[in-house]
Structure 1
Amino acid sequence: MQHQGATEGRTSQYDLSGGFDKALKDFGSLQPKITKNTPELKVCTLKDGRTVIVRKKSSDGRPTIEIQDGKKKIKFRY
């Protein structure tokens, strides 16, 4: 995993490989309680209250898992 460094605001970003299938597998490993489920987007809430989103396409075009903790965000780009 390669850290991309700080983005604008309070977001950290990491580069991974494997595409959307790997992103879905990693998302599933969190044992999420899914609150929204479409072919392109899944949203869940973790036991600790954080929100996790997996998107087939993000703003930069890559599949992404985004973990939201208040105003802090961590993005894993695949």
Structure 2
Amino acid sequence: MWVRQIHRWLSMAFTLAVIANIVAMTMQVQAVWIGFLALVPLIPLLATGLYLFAKPYLDQRDGVRREARS
């Protein structure tokens, strides 16, 4: 499923952005754009996460019963 794969890659990008933000804060670098860097993957991460959360409920409502895939 392509949404799940995109969600995984976005979560890795978000994690790297948070780590970069923490490193910048420990080095006391005053760059506001580093703080906003985490928002770039966070917004589509939220959208794909909400879709993946709601998908089983929507499938059940439509009468489609599928086995969970890993």
Mark the structure with the bigger radius of gyration.
Answer: 2
TM-score normalised per structure 2: 0.27
Higher helix share: 2
Which has the bigger relative contact order, CA under 8 A and spacing at least 6?
A: 2
Give the alignment's TM-score, normalised by structure 1. 0.25
